[in-house]
Copies of this chain bind each other. A is one copy, B any other.
């Protein structure tokens, strides 16, 4: 089956060594009156990037204020702070300088400013965004793909409830990407980013819609390229060629290109949100810790797809007589890949040796299934009992 689809990726991408020199003119082209520069911790300051941004805005004659302090797994409390600040200062454009957390926080502020109710309503399913302030991104961490995606994931401080919503309204007007800015990323962040990038495409590859061969071929090309580049960049962190592949892949993996004619599963993502909400782990690493268990839990009912992945992405030889073994070899191959780039393959490795308890699993199952009222995933619709089983398998 091929699913009817919409494709809408309006973000203007400016990519390359000289990309940052365009920030001023890009913001200006969006008719920004007053800009909020939104960022995370100290690295954007230390690297000099924030000063480049400030200089660009000043030289373009653009009025701006700043709000830093976005944390990984960005918090609703910071979003509220941003909404208040933007209203007070009559901000009409948000410039996100950072990775997915900063961009997602910017999107959430963008939704919240024109909304009269509590911004959390959107993530709580009580309201649908009708407007969003325009947003531009200067990307520093290739991972989340938020610079071209329609999604925004926010964590509510109280109870650590982590949820995502999607809307075309929040698609960035532009995204500035300079691969050189990623040379100094810690290896763990680079690896977790590559894992997240690959997962965004794998979440769309493992679906019931398996007849759009062009999308399959593009997805496999992207997965192979990121896998090879991630392995190599561990040895050569300042190789522009490798960094460029990973950075551009982060956008293409999550701008819906790899979903055309297919579907999105995102079951592993939903299971992971509970892990990173509860334990504060890096999202990409959490995905690596869960995916092999998810894969083994569902693979027997979708063997052909897992064989295709093993052969076309992981380079496993196709043992036609034993598709189950070929599929398993593909999963083992990605576990081997995760180990080589320093990613975990189960939750114990993710948490540095700590084994999660049955009680912790129940907390995650309860939150992920919203008290047993919803399922997640589409290849297989996972109910609470499936979630529990996958967490148990991944516990190791």
Contact = CB atoms under 8 A, between A and B. Distances in A.
Taking the full assembly, how many copies of this chain does it contain? 2
A18 to B, nearest CB: 6
Contacts of A14: 6
Interface residues of A, number: 42
Interface in A1-59: 2-10, 12-19
A240 B6 contact: no
A12 B16 contact: no
A12 B8 contact: yes
A257 B260 CA distance: 14
Interface in A81-109: none
A355 B261 CA distance: 45
A248 interface: yes
Interface in A233-262: 240-241, 244-245, 248-249, 252, 257, 260-261
A222 B215 CA distance: 9
A225 B213 contact: yes
B221 A225 contact: no
A208 interface: no
Contacts of A215: 248
Given A8-B12, A214-B222, A217-B225, 6 more contacts: A3-B16, A5-B13, A6-B13, A15-B260, A15-B261, A217-B224
Interface of A: 2-10, 12-19, 211-215, 217-218, 220-222, 224-226, 228-229, 240-241, 244-245, 248-249, 252, 257, 260-261
